[in-house]
Amino acid sequence: MTRRRSSFLLPNVHVPSQNEAADLASIGKHIGHLVLIIFFVYVFEDRFAIGILRDTYQPLSPPDPYDEPVPATPSGPAGAIFMAVLFVSRLATLLWLPQAIFNFCGLVMFNSFKRGVAPKFNTIDPPAVTFRSFTRGYNAELTCEVARKNLEVLGNSALQNYRVEVITDMPVGIERNSNLLERVVPRDFRPNVLNRARALQYCLEEPSENVGANEWIVHLDENVVLTDEAVQGIVNFCSSGKHHFGAGATSYTNGGQNNWVISIVDAAKIADDLGQTRFQFKIFHQPLLIWKGSWYVTSSIVEKQVGYDKIIASGASEDQYFATIANRLHYTFDFVDGEIWGHSAATLGEQIQQRKRALQASLTIALSHNHPLGTVQHWASRLVPLTVPSLIFGLFWSVPTIFLLDFLAGFIFAIRAYGYTFGVLRSFSNDMPFKALAALASPLIFVADLFLESAVCVLAVIAKDPNIQGRRKSRASIG
């Protein structure tokens, strides 16, 4: 509701309401974000392509002790080999083009700074929703704490018919009530899948006594915490009934930071959520690219028809593989407004292991993905080490190859680097000095993270995961 305040000097002055002021602030932030992303593109294109067109251009290597510029590209046979390597590196960089375009379109087309999710449907019969998470049971205290927080958020929401289910391999000691249930997967339950997929398949074959035929299921990672915005977005999605599968954004900085460098790296994930995932789900309503989410929503009917017994790789891929099968069956997808809170890895070693398992499991998804863009995205992740020369010799030395290749490589690296800055601006708290420092450091974190990704790719080839390899050998066809 708007208000008008009148006085002798300023009659009928419009005073914005709190919601209107918040909307105006979000629009201002979005405009600033557009200016910043264009600035990133300009800087990278100037180094990779545009600057090469200037008459004064000369690719230089670092200055020698006499401050005499030395050409960056060697001559003779060594120069030919150098340019061939750089050309291959540019081609490997092009594999990131679909993801860069999707991220750019998603971040530009939609306002990522608008907070709060308004109710869109006023239904007499609200949806019944089960929030289901899986844990191995090794950290019972954390599991109980997360379940308690989620139950508290749901209790303060407009959702009336809900239940929180914790599916575990070992008992964690959750006290059961009408809205909270702990389910232990029996050891003798041995379907053709492992780990999380095994637990989820058990829930399908042995459903809870209160799960209705038209109920919606929200699958959560074990350490994520719901928010009021995410719950309202889930209610809106379920009440609309237009699509069968939904997913939203995850913020990794609200639960506290164990390591600020790791937090910046994880903060960049929200750029993928609000960029490529939102773009492909809102525009195409299907997972054209492999997406990495911490939560997703689906109806119990769709879940039973798709199932988890066809999932081959264990680990971090159950949600993406489930989406791939659902897409083959022509189910539609949509983006869910609101975000939940996740937790970053405690150490760099844990971060590396998580990435290695996800990369190894993604190969199975790429082999079964029904869209070529998903396969291209996988091999872009696999060939990250080949893109390092493209970045180094383009950004720091402006060594050219073919103008079109240089232009596209500049755009790709600009969007990837901006994701880290966007994650800081979008996710970190209002501590302005720290946010400004983190935003300035984020491009350097991007360069460092590219080397870390390269190391993970090498490690994924050397250190095989026996679970994933075993499942791949016994691969079954999917309809």
165 token code pair: 């289910």
Provide the pLDDT for residue 196.
81
For the domain made up of 118-362, the CATH class stated in words is alpha beta
User: Which is more confident, 212 or 65?
Assistant: 212
Backbone angles phi, psi at 474, to 5 degrees: -100, 35
Q: Tokens 């600020």, residue?
A: 260
Provide the pLDDT for residue 44.
96
The whole-angstrom distance between residue 431's C-alpha and the CA centroid of its chain comes to 24
Residues with Cβ within 8 Å of residue 354, at least 6 apart in sequence: 316, 345
Q: What percentage of the chain exceeds 90 in pLDDT?
A: 41
Given a cut of 90, whether residue 94 has pLDDT beyond it is: yes
Provide the pLDDT for residue 261.
83
Provide the pLDDT for residue 64.
47
Task: Read off the pLDDT of each residue in 9-38 and give the average, rounded to a whole number.
Answer: 81
In DSSP notation, 181-201 reads EEEEPPTT---S--HHHHHHH
Provide the pLDDT for residue 63.
43
Provide the pLDDT for residue 51.
83
Task: Read off the pLDDT of each residue in 342-371 and give the average, rounded to a whole number.
Answer: 78
When pLDDT is cut at 50, 70 and 90, the band that residue 61 belongs to is very low
Query: DSSP class of residue 251?
Result: E
The string of pLDDT tens digits covering residues 154-167 is 999 888 889 999 99
Nearest to 174 by CA among 196, 151, 154: 151
The string of pLDDT tens digits covering residues 118-176 is 888 776 677 889 999 988 888 888 899 999 999 999 999 888 889 999 999 999 888 87
The string of pLDDT tens digits covering residues 381-392 is 999 999 999 999
Strand partners, 13: 5
Helices 403-427 and 18-48 meet at what angle, rounded to 10? 150
Would you tell me how many other CB atoms lie within 10 Å of the CB of residue 221? 19
Provide the pLDDT for residue 95.
95
Given a cut of 70, whether residue 47 has pLDDT beyond it is: yes
- Residues spanned by CATH 3.90.550.10 within the chain? 118-362
Task: Read off the pLDDT of each residue in 197-209 and give the average, rounded to a whole number.
Answer: 81
Residues with Cβ within 8 Å of residue 15, at least 6 apart in sequence: 2, 3, 4, 5
Provide the pLDDT for residue 310.
67
Given a cut of 90, whether residue 106 has pLDDT beyond it is: yes
Question: pTM for this one?
Answer: 0.88
Backbone angles phi, psi at 71, to 5 degrees: -55, 140
Would you tell me how many other CB atoms lie within 10 Å of the CB of residue 447? 16
